[in-house]
Structure 1
């Protein structure tokens, strides 16, 4: 009943896009504010760093499993139903933050919100394919969507900082997100969504999704995205620790390095919508992955005096990679499979976001300095660059993307 089949005009299409933009912004407001929340829960509940870090990796694992195990429902139930159900669960979970006051209660809610995010995000990612008339438009829209995600990543920590400065608890960020989510849910319910193209030749089940994990295109793009995510998350999890001993003339830059990184990332994603409409995506991926590797490599070679400039700047080059690879990976498949493949990619994304910082922390503890964790991240950035170089030279996906474009 929720999946409207009414023809979609331009005004409705714009409304659907803006709803999707707002959903991603709201999602980022909560997930990317965790770094500001963790010091508060350490103090409040006398936690170790390992225990407190569960606020980051537990919801990421929940997102990963939800995307993998439930992603096929976006193809089975339809985009609109999936999105609305996910938003309802997220909204209810967010409001429950206001009534609790224990670490385990909050951690349980983080699991529930992670599952809800994985559920509605796969529906939203599949929807982008439905409303895109070409592969280029799909990639442009995906960059714009991730641009709004970048804006949410700036707004969320700012709201938490304001709440704390005003004497309110950090948990009211989730109440604010819950109100926004409830409004988006109502608007989504009242909006006509495009009819979904179904493929009746194969039953839509979890087994089909798991089978897709063996597909070379799904696996290739997911692996590249995982490498990218590790290099990105390294910045907003560990860069503040790396730069805390900076004693040069640009102390203010070290203080606001993470904010500058987020601003560059958000700006670059909006810019990416224009860049990718002018240049071939494989060339852009090659150039930006090379720039990221250089930022990491020279930061490690010359130390924090250069890292204070280069690591925040890397946000500008990182900005276009995730939405573009995500878009092209999804575009390799029929629209009737977009929910399942979006779930597979989301699984790799969230697992990398959870395990990457953990591996960096373990290496840093082993050798006694956080810079060793960044050596590891530099290696991942180098592998990502080599994959993008191979992609540019051999063009392994060119035929399947052209086929999907005209199919």
Structure 2
């Protein structure tokens, strides 16, 4: 029972942050419509979210075990609860930027804690990979729920309405309830004997770790993957609205297919990977991702000019394109699991800090690049460009596999 309560606490925390983090695409679309923000300016929201994640992870991640994973989770949830309550009261683009900065700071604390707690709860690579994929699958279920929750507050009759900001009141309530659940969960404080005695030492240790060939190839792979996922996920609502000509609320609802596909893909991968090797599995996923882009994107051109009023009469491309999430879903958690499983538990917090940093940098880069290409050359070309990092990950995966094998042989 204590183990179940701990898993429920970390899964619920991840669920809440999934709603908040993955709302950035919806918020970008609504900021463009109701606040008159340009696409390049709106794309900076990803930076406020991701760079704050990177900053906190860079300087604090190695010290989180010292304050305790439970306390870190509670601090992160409290910050977000307050930010969600303030946002609809002020109701301008500056406060939205600050909201995403708070979400980023808090998520850095939460993700390092969750990944480290998973390491405490498992004792093998397969068990770690299975639980991590399950938690990441729940994360995507949160993302799916978020799209529908936000669409309930979007006024389909007035694109200029700012009533959608009221969604942050129920989100504050959900976050507060999660805070209480974490407070009652029996999460133990980790052994800090091997933790660096100061923030500076922990920071230097993280930098030193990043120079190892295995870690370097790994963080490059993570950076490229998140660049793809955030580039597509963040701009999919705008793609649906401008390229597929869907109403704003329907655009947001259709984007939920992407989140649902990611959730299903990760939950299924959590079971599949108990029986097959991760390397051929991920290679197959990447090849299929390229094929989906090449086969589905042509369907988004020259669409008939028929009015769309709900999800049931949306064009077929609006259903098919988000299904790329089903195939890309396992890549990120599997990479993380293989990397963390190769390290002793005392290094998990520092390694997770690097994961969060490069994930954040990849997310910001993907959103800004996609937003720029979208504004200058159109949505189709912006999404076609995702093939480039897909090909680069295929290359990096080979070196990552080779490095992990060498590390396993050298590991005492």
TM-score, length-normalised on structure 1?
Answer: 0.85
Q: Using a 3 Å threshold, how does the CA distance of structure 1 residues 347 and 303 change in structure 2: closer, same or farther? A: same
- Is residue 2:393 matched to residue 1:384? yes
Judging changes above 3 Å, is the alpha-carbon distance between structure 1 residues 353 and 145 closer, same or farther for their aligned structure 2 residues? Answer: same
**1:359 pairs with 2:366:** no
2:166 maps to 1:172: yes
Once the two structures are superposed, the pairs formed by residues 173-188 of structure 1 within 5 Å of their partners are 173-188=167-182
Task: State which of 290, 294, 308 in structure 2 corresponds to 1:293.
Answer: 290
Deviation per CA, 1:22-77, whole angstroms, max 9, x where unpaired?
11110011121222223333344332222223333311211122222221122322
- Equivalent position to 1:397, from 395, 400, 404: 404
What is the distance in 1 between the residues matched to 2:237 and 2:69? 39
1:290-369 alignment, distance < 5 Å:
290-299=287-296, 302=298, 304=300, 311-366=321-376, 368-369=377-378
Partner residue in 1 for 2:310: none
Question: Are the counterparts in 1 of residues 147 and 256 from structure 2 also a CA contact under 8 Å?
Answer: no
The Cα of 1:389 is off from its aligned counterpart by: 4.2
TM-score (norm 2): 0.84
> Shift in Å at residue 330 of structure 1?
2.1
Summarize the Cα distance change of 1:116–1:219 in structure 2 as closer, same or farther, 3 Å threshold.
same
Shift of the alpha carbon at 1:156? 1.0
2:306 maps to: none
Give matches, 1:73-112, under 5 Å.
Answer: 73-112=63-102
What corresponds to 1:140 in structure 2? 130
1:122 to partner: Cα distance: 1.1
150-159 or 196-205, larger mean C-alpha shift: 196-205
Which of 179, 186, 191 in structure 2 is aligned with 1:197?
191
Where structure 1 has 5 or more consecutive residues not aligned to the other structure, the ranges are: 1-10, 248-252
User: 1:20 maps to which residue?
Assistant: 10
Report the Cα offset of residue 347 of structure 1: 0.7
CA RMSD across the alignment: 2.8
Partner Cα separation in structure 1 for residue 220 and residue 116 of structure 2: 20
Once residues 63 and 255 of structure 1 are traced to their aligned partners in structure 2, the CA distance between those partners, rounded to angstroms, is 25
Change in 2 beyond 3 A, CA 1:14/1:401: farther
Aligned pairs, number: 386
